[in-house]
Amino acid sequence: MRALPDFRARAVPILAALVAGLATLSAPPARAQQGYPSRPVQLVVAFEPGGSGDLVAGLLAQHLPSLLGQPVAVEHRPGASGAVGTRSVARAVPDGHTLLIGQLTDVAVAPILNRDAGYDPERDLQPVALAAIIPRALVVQNAAPYASVAELLRASRSSRRGLLFASGGTGTTGHLAAELLRLRTQSRLVHVPFEGAGPAMKDLLEGRVDFYFAPLAVAMPNVRSGQLKILAVSSARRSLAVPNLPTVAEETGIRNFDISAWVGIFAPRGTPREVVARLNRDINQILARPDVRERLVGDGADPAPMSVEQFGDFVRSEIRRNADLLQEEFCSRLLFGGCAGFAFVE
């Protein structure tokens, strides 16, 4: 009688083929990661040159090419308090080749104040990495007649016009810090908005405005040159870069005065997870370099590396914190002429 075929023996090569087939099906993400980037990477800064985003963008443009194997270029797309550039990245192809140097203003404030911003940061942007947290510095000309925040506020109350303060745009961190100071102290402070930190700083240096809550990173070069002096920082704690300088809360007695800028990297939502993970790893590796950390701290920015998940949680908490701040501290007191024109995050 003829022997029955050994199906177990025949099953071995069949199973091997199936396993190989499954491995082939799962290969594209790995190939996508190995193939990224396939062309130059663009870092979009949503404000005019001269802001705190430029510091981070410049460091990444310097160090990322050696890790990515492709050139990295910085492009400024200012307008609408950061909404123009941020919207362009939110609508870009989600392949990791167009990234946003995102900041508190364009990610966590502009969409709250402007229902026509054209993007939802939680729906349209993928957090990649947090680079730095940057306290604001209340800066005045070195020849200004006030040496403390208390003296500045007294001068504002005795002035018929009030004191003019610059900002990088309506809803920016510097604007919010000054308005909160005005509201909490009942001082005469008048807002003069600019399109970015660079133009705001220029008018302060030329004496057309009286003070500016500038990003510490932007203020430091002019402080070192002797053109400006810092009266206080806007963070809850003193800055590591200028530990001898008081906080606004220390100077004024205002409780819970804590408004700091931050800079992070975002990709369009839908960017492959392995690309996001690689960018996070590479950026955190750059932030860990002693020369990079020294440069950031020297310019008033505290390096703040996080995982993708931690940064995502941070961004969501910042959006909600600023929605509460704007609604409770500003619109409720008719800072912007009422809340009817604004759509707040739920």
Residue pair 292/46 in contact by the 8 Å Cβ criterion: no
Instruction: For residues 174 and 162, state if they share a domain.
Output: yes
3-state SS assignment for residue 46: coil
Last residue of a domain, one of 212, 235, 252: 252
Do 161 and 129 share a structural domain? no
Domain range enclosing 213: 135-252
d(CA 49, CA 65): 21
Which residue's entry shows tokens 């990649």?
128
- 115 inside domain: yes
Residue found under tokens 């911003």: 117
CATH classification at residue 148: 3.40.190.10
pLDDT score for 181: 93
Question: 93 burial class (0-12, 13-18, 19+ CB within 10 angstroms)?
Answer: exposed
CA distances from 216 to 134, 167, 204, 340 (A): 6, 13, 15, 34
- Per the listing, tokens 């990515």 go with 68
Question: Which residue from 328, 300, 144 is spatially nearest to 235, judged by alpha carbons?
Answer: 300
**Is 12 within the bounds of a domain?**
no
- Predicted TM-score (pTM) of the model is 0.73
Element (H, E) at 127: strand 125-141
- Whether residue 81 is predicted with pLDDT greater than 80 in this model: the reply is no
- Check residue 23 and give its pLDDT: 39
Q: Please indicate, yes or no, if residue 15 is contained in any of the structural domains.
A: no
* Sign of the dihedral through C-alpha 273, 320, 79, 222: negative
Q: What is the DSSP string of 178-242?
A: HHHHHHHHT--EEEEE-SSHHHHHHHHHTTSSSEEEEEHHHHHHHHHTTSEEEEEE-SSS--SSS
pLDDT in tens, 312-345: 999 999 998 888 777 765 655 544 444 444 433 3
Query: Looking at the domain assignment, is residue 33 inside a domain?
Result: no
Same domain as 270, residue 175: no
Residue 9 lies in a domain: no
> Over the chain, what is the mean pLDDT?
85
pLDDT of residue 260: 86
Q: Tell me: pLDDT of 2 over 80.
A: no
Q: Is 198 a residue whose pLDDT tops 50?
A: yes
Backbone angles phi, psi at 220, to 5 degrees: -55, -45
- The tally of domains found in the chain comes to 2
Please say if the pLDDT value at position 67 is more than 50: yes
**Residues 257-310: pLDDT tens digits?**
888 889 999 999 999 999 999 999 999 999 999 999 999 988 888 888 999 999
The CATH number that applies at residue 324 is 3.40.190.150
Whether the pLDDT of residue 5 is over 90: the answer is: no
Residue 218 shares a structural domain with residue 147: yes
**pLDDT per residue over 143-157, tens digit each?**
999 999 999 999 999
> Do residues 50 and 197 lie in contact, with contact meaning Cβ atoms separated by under 8 Å?
yes
Task: Count Cα atoms within 13 angstroms, Cβ side, for 93.
Answer: 4
pLDDT of residue 211: 97
